[in-house]
Amino acid sequence: MLEQIVRARYGGYGWLEFGAVDDAVDAPAAESDGDTRGGDAPTDFTTTNVQEEGVDEVDLVKTNGTHMFVAEDRGFHVLDAWPAEDAHKLATLDLDGWAQGLFLVGDKAVVFVGSDTDTLGLTTDRWDSAVRMLVIDVSDPAHPSIERTVDIQGWMTDARMVDGTIYAVLNQSMQMPEALWNLVWTDDPNLPAEPYDKDWDDPAWEQARAKARTYLAPKVAKIVDQLDLADVLPSWRTEAGKDVTEMYACDDLYAPSEDSPLQMLSIVSLDPATGRLDSTGLEASGWTIYASQDNLYVAQSSRWWWGWAGSDEGVTQIHRFALHADSEPVYTGAGEVGGWIYDQFAMSEYEGDLRVVTTDFATWWGEGRQEAANNVSVLRDNGEGSLDVIGKVGGIAPGEQIQAVRMIKDKGYVVTFEQVDPLFTIDLSDPTKPEVVGELEIPGFSGYLHPIDDDHLLAVGRSGTEQGQITGLAVNIFDVSDFAKPTLQHTYTINHGNGWSWSEALWDHHAFTYHRDILTIPATYELYDEQSGTYDGFSGTVSVRATPDGGIQEIGQVDHHDLVAKSRCLWDDWYLGDERGKEGTDVEPGWSYCSWDYGYWYAQVRRSVYIEDNLFTISDYGVKVNDLEHPDTELGEVVFYPR
């Protein structure tokens, strides 16, 4: 708390949150259309595209081949998916919040719902984000029943599942008492003045902080001694109808040695089969998650708690938790690397070592931005609770930002971008001496790298010109058989004329489905007709056949635009409710969000699943079933909320 106050006053951070309490809500009832399963169970179907084998990731869609389970927007939908041409909805559960994904564990689905403490009735003296974990029995798919409800104060960050145990990572606020907050802005003459006439790297700033720490320390200690932990620590309800309790006692928490913001990081473990529920708390925060089968890592770059300016070097702290099937996660150590981390693929564990890719801290102006480069560091447990850097290669692509990373065993691939796309190959075979061994420059950049085999990468990115202009969506195949000389073997641009294009697969690998040589990704593009001066658009999926030998050919598209006309307007239901036409409201009778000309925006396709020879595409309005080899051939459709 002392450091929080000092940095808030002398070049740092500080915030306060408030909230309210409401009564608990009842579990929603399911609407059912009946179960008419038929046909032999399929044996070939895709699952969530994950980073590490054996580590499942939370996603919007899960399937067991015969049924499909969708946690989308404010509903949990169960579909009979086999036979594919007879696919239909079996049931829907309405959610008290926004679906953030699910896991499927045998006959149980675990759904995460984002909400707030007010809606979920968690006892707190301030409004805060909250997460509802629903354990749903789907043994009778036509009649899913909520078996358990766990409500937790905090923000759902990410989740993994290993050997049937789910590990959810939450960031939770710890309220700074008003008396402490007042110390940030007090006009106490005993506190040193902020040296605004000095540059941020001038020692005067740290001298001011040091004097402030000495003066404020006893004041902070006195206030802390009077705190009621119930007002500070996060709360939860472990069963529907039970009392709300604090998640931790004071001596249950881990405290890192590094300076961190006043936050709580919770790793909540749930075994749906046995009902075991545990939580491990760390006085820190972290928004980038990576897990192997043995360890879960949470990374936090200093941009989250330091100001845009300051003399402190940008760093990333990494916390490690050991995963055990029969007990709560155990905090086993932490490490620190220079620079800021990009996403989960910037971390990878191999033979006990953690490889981390970062970009140097740089201001948004001046020489610092041009000098900032990228780094690959290798961390190893020193046996005393610290992850130490044992090897590093830095200075990669100064002035450019990381766009994609993939590390596979002892090889690494890093994509950066400023005007052209350099693909760097990194030799990680000697963890003490990582080395850049190859580089390929092409226009545009890759946003996601996917291994086809040991010698080829399939990438989704943006095509571009030599001057750095982005021209469309690109699908590329790289040949990395000669690791020192990677080459672009095939490329295909999804542009379709004079317009722009985009895909969720550029930033979320769960939207990327590649199996049996066919890649399907969501795609949105807008076309401008120069003669008529009008725009037209597409929002659906694009499928291409992509192989190293055969190249890349588009084989078809699926458009969900027509589902909008067959569905209730979800945005009206959720945001207007019964307010339409009421006196004193701004909503005119008959007005609808879905009446806009660009109605295709409201049928955003998010995911795709292959079951045998069938392509299932999932949007917020429903599911379409098409022929996998000929996606333009539609076999059926399911509307989540028919008119």
Per residue in 360-399, pLDDT (tens digit) is 876 444 444 557 899 999 999 999 989 999 999 999 999 8
Which pLDDT score is estimated for 526? 74
- Residue 298 corresponds to which tokens in the numbers above? 């949470």
- At residue 629's C-alpha, the angle toward residues 627 and 634, to 5°, is 20
Which pLDDT score is estimated for 496? 59
Q: Is the pLDDT of residue 444 over 90?
A: no
Q: Using one digit for the tens of pLDDT, what is the confidence trace for 391-442?
A: 999 999 998 889 999 999 999 999 998 767 799 999 999 999 999 999 999 9
Closest among 275, 281, 226, 274 to 250, alpha carbons compared: 281
Higher pLDDT, 592 or 283: 283
Higher pLDDT, 24 or 124: 124
% of residues, the chain, pLDDT over 90:
58
Q: Is the pLDDT of residue 224 over 90?
A: no
In order of 203, 325, 418, 542, the CA distances from 424 in angstroms are 38, 38, 14, 28
Closest among 561, 543, 562 to 553, alpha carbons compared: 543
Q: Is the pLDDT of residue 551 over 60?
A: yes
Higher pLDDT, 529 or 473: 473
- Residue 113 corresponds to which tokens in the numbers above? 């719902």
pLDDT confidence band for 88 (50 / 70 / 90): very high
Q: Is the pLDDT of residue 245 over 70?
A: yes
% of residues, the chain, pLDDT over 70:
82
Which pLDDT score is estimated for 535? 67
Assess contact for 520 and 59: CB atoms under 8 A.
Answer: no
DSSP 572: I
Q: Which of 33-42, 87-96, 404-413 has the lowest mean pLDDT?
A: 33-42
SS (H, E, C) 422-491: EEEEEECCCCCCCEEEEEEEEECEEEEEEEEECCEEEEEEEEECCCCCEEEEEEEEEECCCCCCCEEEEE
Q: Which amino acid is at 572?
A: D
State the burial class of residue 34 (Cβ atoms within 10 Å of its Cβ: 0-12, 13-18, 19+): exposed
Break the chain into its structural domains and give their ranges: 2-16+176-231, 30-153, 563-639
Which pLDDT score is estimated for 104? 98
Residues 399 and 75: their CA atoms lie apart, in Å, by 44
Q: Which of 60-64, 159-163, 559-563, 579-583 has the lowest mean pLDDT?
A: 579-583
Residues 117 and 106: their CA atoms lie apart, in Å, by 31
- Residue 207 corresponds to which tokens in the numbers above? 């001298």
Q: In this structure, what is the dihedral angle of CA atoms 413, 416, 421, 427, given to the nearest 10 degrees?
A: -20
